[in-house]
Amino acid sequence: MNLSVVQACLTETDLTRIRRAAEHVRDHDTDQVLAGLLPGLTADERTDAARHLGYDHTAVLVFPASLDGLRDELRGAGLDPGPVAPSVVVRGRLARRYGAAVGDSPVGIVHVPVAGRSVEIFALPVPPGSPLEAVAADERATEHESHHAFAVTAPGRVIPAGLRTLLTERGGAVPDGGGYNNHENVTVLYFRTAGHLRFELRLPGRQEPLPDPALALLRVMTGAWATQAVRTMAELGIADHLAGHPALDTTALATLTDTDPDALQRLLRYLATLGLVTSSPDGTHRLTALGEPLRTGTEHSLHPLALLYGGPFYDSFAGLPYAVSTGQEAFAQRFGKHHFRHFAEHPELGDLFHRSMAASAEMFTPVPDLVDFSGVRRVVDVGGGNGALLGRVLRAHGHLDGVLLERPEALAAARSHLADLAGRCTFVEGDFTDSVPADGDVYLLSRVLHDWDDERCLTILRRCAAAMREGSRLLVVERLLPGDTAAAWDIHMLCNVGGREREEAHYGRLLTETGFKPTSSHPLPLGAALLHAVRL
């Protein structure tokens, strides 16, 4: 072989980059590489991750004049390269990045063992004078393809899925493509870090790729479409029809819902992607477990919520930029007044609102068993809507009497809901910012405080404290930050109500300032929590 050709294969710059990668492989272990890439991970998290993956190699992309002679030149540099194989994934990434400039150019891959690991060298041939010289210059400057790699040692899909979650949600890594390399029978998943470093996970065999970030963002951006599809499903009563007539075809369902068959079929196809219905090859449709709560007349039906969230609250969310800019509720800007007043002036919306609040009453299910009511005689529900929580407590404990304080329009629904408890329940019209009924042993504040700012919350809690005896108890039901559910509702409160969700410590400060001692908390369904406090 012509030695001058071999020596001219790689530039000194690329040889230096390869040597630097070899030094990193030799001098670092799995924990050190993870700490450098993802400083947000704790030491315990890194240790746990290292049980299931190991630092495998560091990769660098170089630009020889030709793939011929590459191995010989690497040997001349004191390295022991393996065979050169095609690199499917990196070639695809370069083609997407540079388009026609890459053309049909091959990309080789060769592994050089170092200290039980390896340096992975990608090689894009760049003949002198080739248009690819501009590609080489850009890649050397940006290091797009340089990365560290971890081999996932755990078999199956469960642990790799958990690793992905840890690296992205706790470590802050962002998926950056990947694919299956049939030459090595491995799936390569790329990630980027906040510091613009890259790493990859290597999984044996063919694995499901991570979602494309742009496609994932599009799904988030089109969430409004899903809201309206669910609302339409609720308005048309599709869940009720499918539950009452299993395996309906589109024509029959269109007749029952008085809809256009073609348009209905398109809606059903989209609802199937959301998991609310399934469609069989014979053209029939069935309701799924996810779609089941949209049925009417069932316990904990979410049908009213679908109409409310797809109706007036959906309209007001168009004003979210206004709410974020000003700190003021968008609902009042959109409809001219606070939503409580607006709903009170529109009875059909007020009825929908109260039915919607009752729809999420599943969160109250454990409450009667989480509280010791044995020494209690009187329970006062402050702003309890239709009395869903109070009714559940009274029905579970026959020795209790109850008092429900609410606005007149809410009491109408409560009297109907609590009709079987008429002899044990007193209904009081009033405003909890003015006064609260006295002489209760236990007071309930369910989904009240999150409707208001801190100043109004302090007023409400002071009214409760003034009505309560020393040693009487206050039970607060709210969603607590942090948490995905509470974070979503917090934006809802900002936009539609002017209130907010809070952390447990935040509620603790409000309670302490108004004469209460917080004592404990218990998780509840639907992302809620039950906070216990004692009047001092």
Q: Which residues are catalytic?
A: 450
Locus of tokens 């390896």: 118
The Cα 109–Cα 247 span in angstroms is 54
The Cα 483–Cα 501 span in angstroms is 11
For the residues of 44-59, what is the DSSP string, one character each?
A: HHHHHHHTTEEEEEEE
CB 425 within 8 A of CB 394: yes
The Cα 523–Cα 446 span in angstroms is 14
The Cα 266–Cα 263 span in angstroms is 5
Locus of tokens 């409310």: 308
Give 352's contacts (C-beta < 8 A, 6+ positions apart): 304, 307, 308, 311
Residue 244's H or E segment, with its range, is helix 238-244
| CA distances, 402 to each of 18, 286, 427, 442, 476 (Å) | 77, 43, 9, 10, 16
The Cα 218–Cα 463 span in angstroms is 48
For the residues of 161-218, what is the DSSP string, one character each?
A: HHHHHIIIIIT--EEEEEEEETTTTEEEEEEE-TTS-EEEEEEES--PPPPPHHHHHH
Q: Is the peptide bond before 408 cis (omega within 30 degrees of 0)?
A: no
* 3 state DSSP class of 297: coil
Other Cβ atoms closer than 10 A to 501: 24
The Cα 246–Cα 392 span in angstroms is 33
* 3 state DSSP class of 298: coil
Q: Classify residue 373 as left (phi > 0), alpha (psi -120 to 50) or beta.
A: alpha
Question: Which amino acid type is present at position 437?
Answer: P
- Structure tokens of 161? 């899925």
Other Cβ atoms closer than 10 A to 421: 17
